[in-house]
Amino acid sequence: MEFFIAFFNFALAMWLAWRHEAPSAVYVFFAGLVFTAALYLRHAKDALPLSF
Amino acid sequence: MDMTPKLAIRLNALTLYGVSAVLILAFYWQLAYDEVPCPLCLLQRVALTGLAVGPILTIRHGPRPANYGLVIIAALMGAAIAARQILLHIMPGDPGFGSAFLGLHFYTWAFLCFVMAILWAAVMLTFGKQFAPQPNAPARNTFDVLAVWLIIGFTGLNAASALLECGFSGCPANPARYQLLN
């Protein structure tokens, strides 16, 4: 469901970019970006096999 | 070479076709080889769709520097996700995740695509004439409009595919089947 929301968010941003003025699309774009970052933090839990 | 608004719009449409082509290839691989994408793979596709918002704004409202900024931000997000997946499988002997395409895994190709998107946006930003105020709305043709609806369509298909794969709960870390098809 979470990835459906992420894809839907960017599809909505594209539709707004096409049908409406720019600001609404940009707001939805940034909302999608924050949601994507949250999904990344939720799913990127495996420890990297690296040492620095 | 003068970068007119018309030429900039055409190049943005070409970029949308490129993003659509990457999504089509990923979709083809998913369906033809029955490879269910992992959460990080899905996130890279999400970031790819995010790349399209800036070019659509350019095609609809004309070229503006901020539109290329959106491309760079989405590409940085995608590159960070792809780089993490590369690092997860970087140790010698690690077979990597999923199958390879032309010798590289799909997350490596995704990283290269995001780097190319950043480079493309940076190069486009150097052509300042496209940003000159225009008296009329930018001219678009069928080629440009088709590019927009193609990427919106493929984003919708990816949304449907993600819903079939993950169902109405959280997506498993290593999905092997479509939750809603069982």
CA A26 vs. chain centroid, Å, equals 12
* pLDDT (0 to 100) of residue B67: 95
Which residue among A1, A2, A17 sits closest to B57, beta carbon to beta carbon? A17
Structure tokens at B137: 């709305």
What tens digit of pLDDT does each residue of B20-57 get?
999 999 989 988 988 888 889 999 999 999 999 999 99
What is the identity of the amino acid at A36? T
C-alpha radius of gyration, chain A, whole number: 15
Residue B170 lies in a domain: no
| pTM of the predicted model as reported, rounded to 2 decimal places | 0.91
Residues of chain B contacting residue A3, judged by C-beta atoms under 8 Å apart: 39, 42-43, 46, 159, 162-163, 165-166, 171
B143: confidence class by pLDDT, cuts 50, 70, 90: very high
Give the pLDDT mean for B97-122: 92
Residue B20 lies in a domain: yes
Provide the CATH number for the domain around residue B151: 1.20.1550
Residue B65 lies in a domain: yes
Residue B52 lies in a domain: yes
The domain in which residue B66 lies consists of 5-131+139-155
- Name the H helices within chain B: 5-32, 39-50, 53-61, 65-88, 106-125, 142-166
Structure tokens at B117: 């998107």
Residue B171 lies in a domain: no
- Among B115-119, B123-127, B133-137, B158-162, the least confident range: B133-137
Can you point out the beta strands (E) in chain A? Answer: none
Q: How many domains does chain B have?
A: 1
What tens digit of pLDDT does each residue of B9-25 get?
999 999 999 999 999 99
Q: Is A31 on the interface with B (CB under 8 A)?
A: no
Query: Distance between CA B51 and CA B34 in Å, rounded?
Result: 26
